[in-house]
Amino acid sequence: MALRKVPRARYDTTMTNQQRLRAFLQSETTGGALLIGAAIIGLLLANGPISDAFHALATTKIGIDALHLNLTIQQWTADALLAIFFFVIGCELKHELVVGTLSKPRQAALPVAAALGGMVVPALLYFAINRSGSADAVSGWGIPMATDIAFALAVLAVLGRGLPSGVRTFLLTLAIVDDLGAILVIALFYSAGLSVEWIAVAALLLALFALAQRQRITSPLIYVPLALAVWYAVHEAGIHATIAGVALGLLMRVKKNPGETDAPVDRATARFHPISAGIAVPLFALFAAAVDLRSIDLGVVLNSPILLGVLVGLVVGKPVGILLAARLATALGARLAAGVQWIDIAIIGALAGIGFTVSLLISELAFTTEESLSAAKLGVLLASIGAAAVSGVLLAVRRVRRANR
């Protein structure tokens, strides 16, 4: 995932294979394609002739039991690999808060308001659909709040050529706020059995990390052990371990020192984004999207209020919430960016309905029963496809309207 364009080398004959691979993985289209491809492969493997072997692989435990780290491979992808993804998000958030769009309140007001509407309305729709159901069903309210910006940007890159630059900027700013909201939801509502002692340890380690940044220390021999220790402390504290990645990213230094070509936050983003886009997110999607449709009663699951809540929340709630909040913000004095039309806001709203990565993660945190989890995951998959299709239709409508002028 990359919320802003990270400076990267162009392809040329002098580039090494490693540089070419890094440039390839930094492409928004590449990241989205790998994410979608991994999810499709996971779904096929879970329902194909080697499904038993794939399930055995996913549930194979690796790690040290004495340290509470004897986790399944699927858990490692969610707890450890996604921490890299969230670290990149944290770096992007820090950059935008200090020198980017979110550092200018007047410029950020409209997309921030839209993002809030795009989180609240889907959650309310999900709750309204599931309020008369079980407490287990209601706990999934956070699933349709999330936007998968990697997937959304890939669709925008492929289908949205010719759109004004303000559309992409609006989507990026909205995604930043949306990601921050999802992070807070996970930390506050999907973490259980909190340990005050381990929270204190994590806070101390984060303070040391921040001090190292302030002292302009650059050695990975300091940062790698500190980052691993923070991850472990957050894991032991009962908070989802991916929050460690966000916290570390938010502590990265944004301002350059004299003589530095790039700030640490930019170097970290450029270094870890290819790992996130090429390894962490696709592997998580591979296992998270692997719903065994043969082992569940599709009739029951397809009629599940959980699936309906996720589907309606993402496909309907996201664009409606974003449009309503944006309209309210403009009524109060906010303005659309130059060249951006209301149909562009509708397109962004539809794209924001692509939940996927974070929605799948919240699904796994919200549900313990196989039936509920399968319904939620299937809802996320169907909603993401539906949201992409709706955005494609709206983009086509926009082109026709523009051609007829």
Cβ atoms 217, 57 nearer than 8 A: no
Stretch (H or E) spanning 71: strand 71-72
Q: How large is the C-alpha radius of gyration of the chain?
A: 21
Average pLDDT of the chain is 86
pTM beyond 0.85: the answer is no
In a domain, 216, yes or no: no
pLDDT-based confidence at residue 35 (cuts at 50, 70, 90): confident
In a domain, 219, yes or no: no
- CATH number of 35's domain: 1.20.1530.10
Q: How many domains does the chain have?
A: 1
In a domain, 163, yes or no: yes
In a domain, 220, yes or no: no
Q: Please report the pLDDT score of residue 1 as a whole number.
A: 41
In a domain, 201, yes or no: no
Does the pLDDT value for residue 2 go beyond 70? no
**Residue 299 belongs to domain spanning:** 28-191+240-403
Tokens (6 digits) for 80: 């450890």
In a domain, 396, yes or no: yes
pLDDT-based confidence at residue 127 (cuts at 50, 70, 90): very high
In a domain, 108, yes or no: yes
What does the pLDDT look like over 72-98, one tens digit per residue?
999 999 889 989 988 998 898 888 888
pLDDT-based confidence at residue 147 (cuts at 50, 70, 90): confident
In a domain, 21, yes or no: no
What does the pLDDT look like over 355-377, one tens digit per residue?
888 898 899 889 988 889 999 99
Q: Please report the pLDDT score of residue 34 as a whole number.
A: 86
More confident residue, 99 or 226: 226
pLDDT-based confidence at residue 13 (cuts at 50, 70, 90): low
Q: Please report the pLDDT score of residue 265 as a whole number.
A: 92
Q: Please report the pLDDT score of residue 205 as a whole number.
A: 96
